[in-house]
Structure 1
Amino acid sequence: MIVLTAPTSDIGQQVLTRLLEANAPVRIIARDPSRLADDMRSRVQIVQGSHSDTEVVNRAFFDAEAVFWLLPPNPHAESLEAAFVDFARPAAAALKAHKVKRVVSISALGRGTPFDKTAGHVTASLAMDDLLASTGVALRTLTMPSFMDNIARQAGAIKCQGLLSSPISGDLKMPSCATRDIAAVAGHWLLNGDWSGQKDVAVLGAADISFNEMTKIISEVFDIQMRFEQVGFADYKARFLRHGFSEAMAQGMRDMMFAKNEGLDLGIRRTPKNTTSTTFRQWCEDVLKPAMQD
């Protein structure tokens, strides 16, 4: 039995699709299972609730071989520790209590760089990784850069203003990955039961790319005039505060992007094993184009 957390999220739904295509037995933890397609719900066991809840994770992890762990966003959390580490404490205890054999978790790049203690959400995610590792479970921690799919959140500005923006320098080349490639890697480890130990697995996307290069590609794909604008870090934080984020979570976003601008995501050497297939141009064709049409 494979237990899937956050199955209605972008990554979670894609992982679930892969598991069902392989006819794997799946149990999901979901606050609102109705958000899943009917054909998916009919093929899985459902434990309704939050995977921060002790009773929920104990019911879900009973007799489980593997767990896919994905933290849901909590923009209103009082602290980063509460949002990441405290959220995961019940699950960590349940992993040990039920002797779960393997966990595949979603995390971030940055461990071992000069910025990993001051990188906001990334620092908190690494602390959560340490908590999961402390259970002794066999663990594959998928460490990611920023997602290409985050660009789709700017579809309105791209379409109406020809604008792409970030606090990160437009010239800085960094890894960027598509969520579908993350799901493919996660599915591989979840379906392959022949592994043990604890290891970080980087998922770096097809190539390092700058925001200026992204802007050029978007311009070419959509045949529109585009420009990139680097926003200030204070303004970037203020955007999250305007959208209802707590002070701690907005500051964490600012600190994470500041660290990325300093090289947080550049500490892992690119290899064929950590390079995935989806290029930014292909992602624009397959994902951004439909988002622009909404």
Structure 2
Amino acid sequence: MRIAVTTPLGHVGHHVTTMLIRAGVRPLLLTRHPGSIPAGIDECADVVEADSRTPSDVVAATVGVDAIYWVDPPAESADPLADYARATEAIRAAVESIGIGRVVFQSSVGAEKRRGAGEIDGLAATEVALDRLGVAATHLRCGYFFTNLLFETESITAGLLQTVLPVDSPMSWVAPRDIAEVATTTLLNGDWSGRRVQAVHGPEDLTWAQVASILSEETGRNVRVEQITDEDMTQQYLAAGMPPATADAVLGMSVGLRDGFVPEQQRSLVTTTPTQLRGWIREELVPAL
């Protein structure tokens, strides 16, 4: 079975790559930066230069591919949903042109809303496009990545996290490695077909207040969290240089999952994964502080 991996340098993708290699698969890695693939990996994988937002690149790169781990790459332009639309068109073109049989798509909790969740709306559009093609597709509805805390190192060091979410509302937090494990086992399992939705919720739901407490204990810093207004958060994003549409799309991911949102997939044995936030902080966040 020929398996392709997009974003092989990403938080999840690099784990998918190494897991496939350990399973005896020689994956095909699609990347805009072939020279950045680590030494050793390039000896165990085939690497092709391709932009996941360019249909012709993806079609040319995936000839002969049976299954693909697909990630819509992070938005880079001043119109993030347009970036997601281009990525959606690229995987649609590849499935139609090449006949890729199975797609494991990295989506998000909140994509079930279809509209009103900021950048997650772009992931929802990819889900819809794949569903319309009738391809065997598993949509991984992932929780909040532990690695998002890596963008908060200055705030953690200063001892103050800010969010527009209620600080005592629990939500799913998940390690990217756990997402990769679910993605990899799904790619290697030939016994599924049709449309599937697989939530990846991490080991437990946590509130921001609980996360601040764990951060305090593991970093040795007194970290607290406060809820701020949508307007204040938007101003922070704009001050950091985000274009207005990007600021709205990023804010929308939190706002859309805030007031009365109930995930379509409830936590269960199937959706629960093992990596604890505490251990991840010790291993990956503390060295970055």
Alignment of 1:146-161 (within 5 A): 146-159=144-157, 161=158
Q: Is the 8 A contact 2:106 2:140 kept in 1?
A: yes
Alignment partner of 1:143 out of 136, 141, 144: 141
- 1:15 paired with 2:34, answer no
Secondary structure of the residue aligned to 2:205 is coil
Decide whether aligned partners of structure 1 residues 220 and 265 sit closer, same or farther in structure 2, where only a CA change above 3 A counts.
Answer: farther
- C-alpha separation between the residues in 1 aligned to 2:251 and 2:65? 38
Report the alpha carbon displacement of residue 168 of structure 1 after superposing the two structures with TM: 1.1
Alignment of 1:98-137 (within 5 A): 98-112=98-112, 116-137=114-135
Q: Is the 8 A contact 2:73 2:87 kept in 1?
A: no
- C-alpha separation between the residues in 2 aligned to 1:94 and 1:106? 17
Partner of 2:235: 238
How many residues are matched? Answer: 288
Deviates more, 1:53-62 or 1:205-214: 53-62
Secondary structure of the residue aligned to 1:76 is coil
Partner of 1:259: 256
Secondary structure of the residue aligned to 1:290 is helix
Partner of 2:273: 276
TM-score (norm 1): 0.92
Secondary structure of the residue aligned to 2:107 is strand
Decide whether aligned partners of structure 1 residues 178 and 265 sit closer, same or farther in structure 2, where only a CA change above 3 A counts.
Answer: farther
Secondary structure of the residue aligned to 1:190 is helix
Secondary structure of the residue aligned to 1:271 is coil
Secondary structure of the residue aligned to 1:214 is helix
Partner of 1:227: 224
Q: Is the 8 A contact 1:157 1:164 kept in 2?
A: yes
CA-to-aligned-CA distance 1:225-265 (integer Å, 9 cap, x gap): 22112222122223333333332221111122112222436
Q: Is the 8 A contact 2:54 2:86 kept in 1?
A: no
Partner of 2:162: 165
Secondary structure of the residue aligned to 2:197 is strand
Report the alpha carbon displacement of residue 125 of structure 1 after superposing the two structures with TM: 1.2
Q: Is the 8 A contact 2:28 2:48 kept in 1?
A: yes
Partner of 2:41: 40
- C-alpha separation between the residues in 1 aligned to 2:107 and 2:32? 22
In structure 1, list runs of 5 or more residues that go unmatched: none
In structure 2, list runs of 5 or more residues that go unmatched: none
Report the alpha carbon displacement of residue 110 of structure 1 after superposing the two structures with TM: 2.2
Decide whether aligned partners of structure 1 residues 221 and 90 sit closer, same or farther in structure 2, where only a CA change above 3 A counts.
Answer: closer
TM-score (norm 2): 0.94
Partner of 1:197: 194
- C-alpha separation between the residues in 1 aligned to 2:235 and 2:190? 45
CA-to-aligned-CA distance 1:26-60 (integer Å, 9 cap, x gap): 11111111222111112221221202223211222
Decide whether aligned partners of structure 1 residues 106 and 70 sit closer, same or farther in structure 2, where only a CA change above 3 A counts.
Answer: same
CA-to-aligned-CA distance 1:188-218 (integer Å, 9 cap, x gap): 1112222211111000111111000111111
Secondary structure of the residue aligned to 2:28 is strand
Report the alpha carbon displacement of residue 2 of structure 1 after superposing the two structures with TM: 0.6
Q: Is the 8 A contact 1:233 1:254 kept in 2?
A: yes
- 1:188 paired with 2:191, answer no
Partner of 1:174: 171
Q: Is the 8 A contact 1:167 1:232 kept in 2?
A: yes
Secondary structure of the residue aligned to 1:261 is coil
Q: Is the 8 A contact 1:175 1:265 kept in 2?
A: no
Aligned-residue CA RMSD in angstroms? Answer: 1.7
Deviates more, 1:221-230 or 1:57-66: 221-230
Partner of 2:95: 95
Secondary structure of the residue aligned to 1:24 is coil
Report the alpha carbon displacement of residue 289 of structure 1 after superposing the two structures with TM: 1.7
- 1:69 paired with 2:70, answer yes
- C-alpha separation between the residues in 2 aligned to 1:151 and 1:170? 15
Secondary structure of the residue aligned to 1:17 is helix
CA-to-aligned-CA distance 1:103-156 (integer Å, 9 cap, x gap): 00101112555xx42111122211111112222211011001211110121122
Partner of 2:59: 58
Among all aligned residue pairs of Structure 1 and Structure 2, give the percentage whose two residues are the same amino acid. 29
Partner of 1:85: 85
